[in-house]
Amino acid sequence: MNTLIENKTIKTDHETLNSIIRSRRTIYANNYINKPISEELLVEIIANATWAPTHKRTEPWRFIVLEGKHQEKLGEYMLGYYKEHLSEENFPVSQYEHTLNYPKNATLVAVILQRSKRIKIPEWEEIAAVSCAVQNMWLSCTANEIGGYWDTSEAAITYGSKLDLLDNERCLGLFYMGYPDPTVDKPKSKRKPIHTKISIHSI
Ligand SMILES: Cc1cc2nc3c(=O)[nH]c(=O)nc-3n(C[C@H](O)[C@H](O)[C@H](O)COP(=O)(O)O)c2cc1C
């Protein structure tokens, strides 16, 4: 329902929420412009991540913001990784430059699963909780007109795994963020009809 306040129609909260959830898209780093995300906003986005639910309040995560030469180093790492692991056909020389420069406009956050040593929770529940946290970050990006995506490729995970992790920690990929190029159309996405995803079981 819309509410009229001082001649302005504002959306009610549930409509805003629906809109943020449904307009969240995977926006890849080659579509980011060279505009940094302020530290204040970045902290707000990561703080929202930590408001995700966790079983027994373990908060099984840590977020490592990759600054300085990381964008450059990640580009070099991906180039080396793909050269080593992919055939010339699947990773032709023509893609080298693109790969090297790919992270250059991205704010990079390594997503770390940090398992509690004290409270025993099945790993899948802890990964589920981290996934909820990542979704919070992603939705917060959408609300701030920032593009984002979760890179769980082997290259991203192995890069993040080199960040001095402790023995109860595991990298679950890199979360990319950046302001999208306004001249590029937002990617479209679709979902299967909802009736194919809901069934009713009654006894
Ligand atoms: C757990 C998880 C891992 C993902 N890993 C990757 C990835 O490694 N590379 C990639 O291009 N996209 C990755 N994505 C993004 C999905 O491909 C994307 O969400 C999907 O295509 C739907 O598009 P949408 O996010 O715009 O709705 C991942 C998403 C999730 C939830």
Q: Is 149 in the pocket of ligand 1 (CB under 6 A)?
A: yes
Cβ(64)–Cβ(109) under 8 Å? yes
Assign a CATH topology to domain 33-68+107-180: NADH Oxidase (3.40.109)
Q: Is 26 in the pocket of ligand 1 (CB under 6 A)?
A: yes
Report pLDDT for 202: 97
The two tokens of residue 182 are: 């306004």
Query: Which stretches in the chain have pLDDT values below 70?
Result: 1-11
Domains of the chain, residue spans: 33-68+107-180
Q: Alpha-carbon distance 75 to 163, whole Å?
A: 16
Backbone angle region of 145, left / alpha / beta, with phi > 0 → left and psi within -120 to 50 → alpha: left
Q: Is 18 in the pocket of ligand 1 (CB under 6 A)?
A: no
Q: Which of 134, 136, 115 is nearest to 125 (CA)?
A: 115
Question: What phi, psi does 150 have (nearest 5°)?
Answer: -100, 115
Cβ(150)–Cβ(106) under 8 Å? no
Report pLDDT for 3: 47
Specify the ligand 1 atom closest to the Cα of 156. 8
**Cα 176 to middle of ligand 1, angstroms:** 11
Give the angle 67-99-178 at the CA atoms, nearest 5°: 45
**Cα 203 to middle of ligand 1, angstroms:** 37
- Closest C-alpha residue for ligand 1 atom 11: 151
Report pLDDT for 11: 61
Q: Is 23 in the pocket of ligand 1 (CB under 6 A)?
A: no
Quick: pLDDT tens for 73-83: 999 999 999 99
DSSP H helices in the chain: 13-23, 39-49, 70-85, 96-101, 123-143, 154-161
Neighbours of 178 (CB within 10 A): 27
